[in-house]
Amino acid sequence: MPSTGNTERAYERFETARGVLPPRAWARSDAPRIDLNGRWRFRLSPDPSAPIDFLDGLPAAWSDIDIPSHWQLRGHGAPIYTNQAYPFPLDPPRVPDDNPTGDYVRTFDVPELWREGRVFLRFEGVDSFATVWVNGIELGSTSGSRLANEFDITESVRPGERNVVAVRVLQWSSNSYLEDQDMWWLSGIFRDVSVELRRAGSIGDHRIQADFDAQTGTGFLRVDTDVPATVVVEELGIDAPVGQLIAIDQVEPWSAEQPRLYRGRIVGSGEIIEIVVGFRRVEVDDGLIKVNGRRVQFRGVNRHDFHPEQGRAVDAETMLSDVLLMKRHNINAVRTSHYPPHPHFLELCDKYGLWVIDECDFETHGFGAEGDDPGAGNPVDDVRWQSALVSRMRRMVARDRNHPSIVMWSLGNECGPGVNVEAMSSAARELDSTRLIHYERDFTSAQVDVYSRMYLTYEEVEQIGRGDEPPLDDPALTAHRNAQPFILAEYAHAMGNGPGGLSEYQELFDRYPRLQGGFVWEWIDHGLRTTDTSGRTFWAYGGDFGEELHDGNFVADGLLFPDRTPSPGLLELKKVLEPVRLDLVTGGIRVTNAQDIVGTSLFSAEWVLEEEGIARARGSFPLPDISARGESVVPLPDFPATDAETWFTVRIVLAASTSWASAGHELSASQWQIRPPQSVAAVRHAPVAAPLVAAPLVGPGEFDARGRLQRFAGIDLVSPCLDVWRAPIDNDFGYYGEPLEPFWRAEGLHRMQQRVDSIRWTDADLQVITRTGAAGSRLALLSTWRWSTDGADLRLSLTVEQVGDWTVPLPRLGIRMGLPAFVHTVEWFGRGPGEAYSDSARAQLVGRYASEVDDLQTPYLMPQENGNRLDARWVVFGIGGNRGLRVSSLEPFSFTTRRWTSEDLDAAKHPNDLVAGDRVWLNLDVAQYGLGSASCGPGVHPRYLRELFPARLDLRFAVGDAQ
């Protein structure tokens, strides 16, 4: 009688692995292999009491499922999203009786020749616990969802025959307590499955150590295997027995910036393994993380394995697109939050060059660790879990240690402090002393090599940069920590519209050597592709599958949309992480190489001079080869004379193609205003030319008796009114930061009423005074609208004052008006082409742009304010034919244009809830509040908190030929 788990509840042991082989390195080997990915038979039962009646063959009544996959994404059961909370009662190591149980069966033919050797069955990842049978014989069970589990099936497999492999997977097990990462709970066999012949002379485990001495340029290679073998690296002339240290003069080292790999192989009598060798030394020296003797700065992101249809069952193409997108956006590092990724991802990091923090599959956030207190029952502080945890750590290191890209081993994420931290750290050091140890929740830094924190404020980061962070209770520990380099394991929470304030972090990283960069949270939104009842696609987040407990759209906090479209936040990050910085200085352009290792020979510069957005001259210049962190001044090109506002833009591009982008790929752009708009002062004070002809007309503007603009040049309008509301962005909610949204709503900013207080017609203008305030509130905004004309155009001069004791900053300040729905095209001169906000504007350049109204929207998974175009000088809305309604100002303004109101945006839960109405709504703003990162972290940097009052907006409305 096989042990079924349902009687013994083997899945509730502290360590559930049974019958598994010792871990070994992931390998590209010529060992005969049968790929068991593909079609299996599948049945989902509500709990493990389902009969084990599927060991002998393919049950006809079952459905098919493709592996690797999660059953919840194949029509069985449903995904659950929680951030910290466990979706079951907290009673470790017990789990609920209601425990979805997935049974899998398939057959595979094993060649007769496979009698000569041992046969291994390998699972790269099964969530969360599996029991495995081959030909009816139970082999054991798994642990560690994101780690490999390998079984020796030699005794049960039948070479020359058809074999049956059967697997029972439980959704919940004691493993679930160790795997409480902030992501969807998704179950099943979600990584590759294979069977391998291990002939006599198979290499077993293999270990590659490739050290580099930056002083002498010498590389040291040592390869170890379980059986005698030879290591061959032809390019280096190496053909030697394993187990010895080989010194090689003048090797080219590996780095993320120059990922030099030497390809080779390990040749055993029964197996050949393809290897890559990257020589490098990672150390903490003089309080700094150095690779090959150089301080490096991590410009990183936190990456989950994620695909919007496949969950964590990510294919090779998707992994490659992640790596290429990172490289193309100036990202040089990745933390594999919060578990070891699919092993192929690490191969790609080796090949294309990314520094990696490889993190163990371990998080117990739901136990509520706070400071020194891990929270009752937390496995991190319970020795009964120690061997399971140490084993997880060892299995990750053993699987991954041959990758040159890995510079740190991370024990896990947010488990709190506890007795098992030291054991895990020591286990990693014992298996590999060539990487640094990382664990953000070791606040004392006692067991780690790097001081690491998350979401700190700018002030806190700066304090650490200066080395005067608050001391610990123990002076020895304080001294130990003070001598450590610092990284932000997570910062700049990219949830919804944001993050803002990226460059202020980067400035700190650049100013203080101890601050060695950070990892933005996070790479991609985990939205799952779903269709609504009308067949429209949307990206589902927590709650969309009817979960009783969930954390909503907190799962959508990435720099990429789920389909891997870059968000505005990623474009901003790309600019902030630019590898070459340009500044205009006397004598030319100062070029600073912001890279740590390589020179600038790969790059060249292209420039353009634009007068009001129209190119007047362009050219290019080669960059001098500036060494890492060095600088040089290049002369400015000769510019032709211009009259209107003129900008000089320089783009840094790849001079030649690389493995990750083609020649011409833009890495960054910088811009300077060479000539301001003309005669600002003169025009601003120009007298109004023509007096009013007859009320209620002001030039082309038609007003009603209450002084409200009804029509402009024959175009019907919803009259302009003062607007202070924006559909709150995730950062306004301040989930793990300081919220503003509740204060805004408490003040009624989302339901302001406008009253006309007075109307006065003069010879020169129409003056309307309005009072805008919310029901129940004494606070108000007093606006004076002065409408005038020069005979042709309509001018508005608006001033706004505050009445009462305002304590909250305003979401926005400007006017809102309705244009007819036939408006489609928008053209403007200002920042673009993308959206920008005061604290996230570096990636958007001043220029002339055109767009459809519909393309000005950014479809954040949870609808929220978006699409702001910053620093506009003029904007023209197409009104048919070649004609346009033009709004312009001498002071740059912001505008937002959409087919629904801010209130619609606020109420919507998904972008597909938003339907075009009979108006195009236009906001013209003096300013909008910044973005910050308060959904998890600090709010808007003080640099962007400007005093708005007394506020003034001067606009000119005209109709004419479109630009």
**Interface pattern 297-336 for ligand IPT (x via CB under 6 A):** ----------------------------------------
3-state helix, strand, coil in the chain (%, to 5): 15, 40, 45
Query: Among residues 24 and 303, whose Cβ is nearest to ligand IPT?
Result: 303
Under the binding rule (CB under 6 A), the answer on residue 413 touching ligand IPT is yes
Give the contact letters, 469-498, x = binds to ligand IPT (CB under 6 A), - = no: ---------------------x--x-----
Tokens 């009462």 map to which residue?
Answer: 804
Question: Partners of 797 in the beta sheet?
Answer: 786, 954
**Least Å from the CB of residue 181 to ligand IPT:** 6
Phi/psi at 403 (nearest 5 deg)? -90, 120
Does 736 bind ligand IPT (CB under 6 A)? Our answer is yes
> What is the rounded CA–CA span in Å between residue 485 and residue 285?
9
**Smallest distance, ligand IPT to C-beta of residue 454, A:** 6
What is the C-alpha R_g of the chain? Answer: 31
Residue nearest to ligand IPT (CB): 182
User: How far separated are the first and last CA of the chain, in Å rounded?
Assistant: 82
The backbone torsions φ and ψ at residue 873, rounded to the nearest 5 degrees and listed phi first, read: -100, -40
Does residue 455 interact with ligand IPT by CB under 6 A?
A: yes
Cβ proximity to ligand IPT: between 348 and 494 the closer is: 494
Closest separation between CB of residue 339 and ligand IPT, Å? 11
3-state class of 911 per DSSP?
A: helix
| Measured distance CA(232)–CA(230) in Å, rounded | 6
Which CB atom, from 129 or from 455, has the smaller least distance to ligand IPT?
455
Minimum distance of ligand IPT from residue 145's CB (angstroms): 16
* Contact present, 839 and 944 (Cβ < 8 Å): yes
Catalytic residues: 414, 490
Nearer to ligand IPT, 210 or 380 (CB): 380
Q: Are the CB atoms for 164 and 56 separated by under 8 Å? A: yes
Q: Which is nearer to ligand IPT, 209 or 457 (CB)?
A: 457
**CB within 8 A of 829, min separation 6: which ones?**
612, 613, 846, 847, 848, 849, 872, 873, 874, 875
Nearer of residues 122 and 493 to ligand IPT, judged by Cβ: 493
- Provide the minimum distance between the beta carbon of 419 and ligand IPT in the complex, in angstroms, as a whole number: 22
Binding flag, residue 443, ligand IPT (CB under 6 A): no
Q: Smallest gap, in angstroms, from Cβ of residue 374 to ligand IPT?
A: 16
Nearest approach in angstroms of CB 83 to ligand IPT is 5
Report the C-alpha gap between 212 and 229 in whole angstroms: 23
- 210 phi and psi angles, rounded to 5 deg: -130, 100
**Binding positions for ligand IPT, 848-907, rule CB under 6 A:** none
The DSSP bridge partners found for residue 465 are none
Return the number of the residue (490 or 865) whose C-beta is nearest ligand IPT. Answer: 490
Query: Which residues have CB under 8 Å from 789's CB, separation 6+?
Result: 688, 689, 690, 692, 698, 699, 700, 701, 795
Question: Closest approach of Cβ 524 to ligand IPT, in Å?
Answer: 12
Interacting residue with ligand IPT among 361, 400, 414, 741 (CB under 6 A): 414
Identify which of residues 231 and 487 has a Cβ nearer to ligand IPT in the complex: 487
Contacts with ligand IPT in 333-362 (CB under 6 A)? 338
Contact between 936 and ligand IPT by CB under 6 A: the answer reads yes
Which residue, chain included where needed, has tokens 């339907």? 915
172 binds ligand IPT (CB under 6 A): no
Paired tokens of 570: 């990623």
Core vs surface per residue 184-213: b (16+ CB within 10 A) or e: bbbbbbbbbbbbbbbbeebbbbbbbbbbbb
Query: For residues 339 and 486, which CB has a smaller minimum distance to ligand IPT in the complex?
Result: 339
Q: For residues 493, 494, 500 and 506, what is the CA-based torsion angle, rounded to 10 degrees?
A: 70
User: Looking at beta carbons only, is 193 or 334 nearer to ligand IPT?
Assistant: 334
Fill in the per-residue mask, 123 to 162: x = in contact with ligand IPT (CB under 6 A), - = not in contact.
----------------------------------------
By the rule CB under 6 A, 933 interacts with ligand IPT:
no
Which strands make up the sheet holding 486-491, listed edge to edge?
Answer: 436-438, 406-410, 355-359, 333-335, 298-302, 515-520, 486-491, 451-454
Place of tokens 């959409």: 898
Task: Please state the separation of Cα 589 from the chain's center in Å.
Answer: 32
Residue 329 CB, nearest distance to ligand IPT (Å)? 20
645 binds ligand IPT (CB under 6 A): no
Q: Considering the complex, what minimum distance in angstroms separates the CB of residue 549 from ligand IPT?
A: 16
CA distances from 377 to 149, 368, 369, 886 (A): 27, 10, 10, 65
Contact 446, 433 (CB under 8 A): no
Residue 449 contacts ligand IPT per CB under 6 A: no
Q: Residues 80-119 vs ligand IPT: string with x where CB under 6 A? A: ---x------------------------------------
Residue 47 and residue 42: Cα distance in Å, rounded?
15
Q: How far apart, in whole angstroms, are the C-alpha atoms of residue 920 and residue 132?
A: 60
Instruction: Annotate 804-837 with three-state secondary structure.
Output: CCCCCCCCEEEEEEEEECCCCEEEEEEEECCCCE
- Cβ pair 150, 122 in contact under 8 A: yes
Q: How far is CA 152 from the centre of its chain?
A: 39
- Closest to 255 measured CA to CA, from 235, 277, 278, 276: 278
Minimum CB distance to ligand IPT, residue 730 (Å): 10
Q: Of 177-206, which residues contact ligand IPT (CB under 6 A)? A: 182
Verify binding: residue 545, ligand IPT, rule CB under 6 A. no
Nearest approach, Cβ of residue 256 and ligand IPT (Å): 23
x-marked contacts with ligand IPT along 548-577 as a string, rule CB under 6 A: ------x--x--------------------
Give 152 or 551: the residue with its C-beta nearer to ligand IPT.
551
Measure the CA–CA gap between 432 and 397, rounded to whole angstroms. Answer: 7
The footprint of ligand IPT on this chain (CB under 6 A) covers a number of residues equal to 14
- Measured from the CB atom, the residue of 456 and 667 that comes closer to ligand IPT is 456
If one asks whether residue 521 binds ligand IPT (CB under 6 A), the answer comes out as yes
Binding region for ligand IPT (CB under 6 A): 83, 182, 338, 413-414, 454-455, 490, 493, 521, 554, 557, 736, 936
